Amino acid sequence: MLLVYICLVVIARFVYFPLHFVDGKIGTLTIGFSTTLSDMISLIPFFFLFDRYDGWLINIIGNIAMFIPVGIVWPICFRKLDNIKKTVFAGICFIIFIELSQLLCPERHTDIDDVILNTSGVLIGACILFAIRKSRNDVP
């Protein structure tokens, strides 16, 4: 279970406390609502990804890599996640919770791109774990 907690803490650190500078100091998380909901939500896949971020490649790799451990660790710790579909479904539920909770943080952005990329990470992690489990079961 310690691995699950580590996954949650690392994800929370990057999601809610991104490393950005405000007046030469690391910015703090503020809670509240933005002026308009349309500024906070992006529902068109990959529409803003390349325009909004100078480091779009790092954003893509980071969003995927951050959730690979979830796809590996959660099925190890939770016996009911005994196949890839259940693991990815649990991961999507967690990711949607994270994205919706960002609506309370005016400096954060709820984005369908994050859901897609994070889910890809969970899927990759689950595929790795279940491939390893399958290869161990196939060896006499």
3-class SS letters over the chain = CHHHHHHHHHHHHHHHCCCCEECCEECCCCCCCCCCHHHCEECCCCCCHHHHCCCHHHHHHHHHHCCHHHHHHHHHHCCCCCCHHHHHHHHHHHHHHHHHHHHHCCCCCEEHHHHHHHHHHHHHHHHHHHHHHHHHHHCC
Span 54-87, pLDDT tens digits? 677 888 898 899 999 999 999 999 999 999 999 9
* Share of residues in the chain with pLDDT > 70 (%): 75
pLDDT of 137: 81
Q: What is the pTM for the complete model shown? A: 0.79
